Amino acid sequence: MAENNQDELIVIAAWLYYVERMTHEEIAAELHMSRVSITRLLQRARSEGVVQFTITRPLPDQFKIESRLKEKFNLRSATIAKTMSDPNDTAKEVCRYAAVTLKKLLFRNCRLGVAFSSTLSNMVEFLDGNTAPEGITIQELAGTYLSPNAPYGISWRIAEKLNAKINSLPIPVVVQSEEIRDAMLQEPSIKEAMQGIPNVDLAVVGLGRIGDDSTLVKTGHFTPEMMRILKHQGAVGDILLHFYDRDGNYVSNPIRNRMIILQWEELQRIPDVIGVAFGANKVVAIQGALRSGTVHHLVTDMETAMAVMKD
């Protein structure tokens, strides 16, 4: 084959690889060339149009919507679960996909930030400690005591599943006064736990909505009247008790000075944040969260994703 010029070699290599189904090693032996040279010839075959591909079937809708979401909201990833006939089944599917997304992003010695979430409480069963990286630390992002009727704490359950250490905040997320909050933050163990928040590498959060039956009302932290005031101020959703409008701008929280939780600015500095939410009543909250720039990865279901894209 020594007499063939480069253009001929590109065609020959492409034919042997794509038509004859020969491996790189077999082509190298046939043409008396190195495997690296064959790889370069095949790369040129693609880049110079010698080889062209035609996909005869349309892309699945799921993949198309994921790509459009990433482009529209500048996301690093979008993962869409199938919408089931029963909302409870949809919740499980979304949380199963959330567990898969989390697994992809976890790494050795990762500090994972979590807090309470009614949606994410369904994710724990899909986590697998056997395949989790070593050295994970769970960093609680908020006080974990909610109420006996609000079983939305997930940090200890995630730590057990991932064989991880935990940096815990076993205190109320909301206290009666700013003075009480300031005093509690001076407690050495609490202060030390809070100091781990700026070092979080990855966080997974639910995206709350504004409404009388929201998780925040169910936990007793907000009254329906407070929710109506927030809605009047333009709030459409929250991430860990921090509210935002439909454009993603921060909306002042009437109990901000009574919360033991990471600050909005700290949330914005976390390198990777997975937002998990679904349902028609969460569409505007999801849109606002994505526009805020605090969420880098979205996990939802197909019907919700299509509604999010319509605006």
Q: Residue type for 202, please?
A: L
pLDDT of residue 146: 55
Res 58: pLDDT: 65
Lowest mean pLDDT, pick from 66-75, 120-129, 141-150, 178-187: 141-150
pLDDT in tens, 39-94: 999 999 999 989 988 776 666 788 889 999 999 999 999 999 999 999 999 999 99
pLDDT at 275 over 90: yes
Residue 2 confidence (pLDDT): 44
pLDDT bin (cut points 50, 70, 90) of residue 120 is confident
Q: Per-residue confidence at 106, pLDDT binned at 50, 70, 90?
A: very high
What average pLDDT does this structure show over 280-292? 96
How do beta strands 235-239 and 208-209 pair? antiparallel
pLDDT, tens only, 222-270? 778 888 888 899 999 999 989 999 999 999 888 888 888 999 999 999 9
With CA atoms as reference, report the closest residue to 278 among 241, 249, 251, 307. Answer: 307
pTM, entire model: 0.81
When the pLDDT of each residue in the chain is averaged and rounded to a whole number, the result is 89
| Least confident window among 25-39, 51-65, 112-126, 290-304 | 51-65
- pLDDT at residue 219 tops 50: yes
Q: Which of the residue ranges 20-24, 182-186, 229-233, 297-301 has the most confident prediction, judged by mean pLDDT?
A: 297-301
Give the pLDDT score at 3: 47
Task: Give me the domains of the chain, ranges plus CATH numbers.
Answer: 6-47 (1.10.10), 61-310 (3.40.50.1360)
Q: For position 1, what pLDDT does the model report? A: 44
Mean pLDDT within 289-311: 95
Confidence of residue 148 (pLDDT cuts 50, 70, 90): very low
Tell me the pLDDT tens digit for each residue of 185-211: 999 989 998 999 999 999 999 998 887
Q: What is the pLDDT of residue 131?
A: 85
The residue with greater pLDDT, 158 or 5, is 158
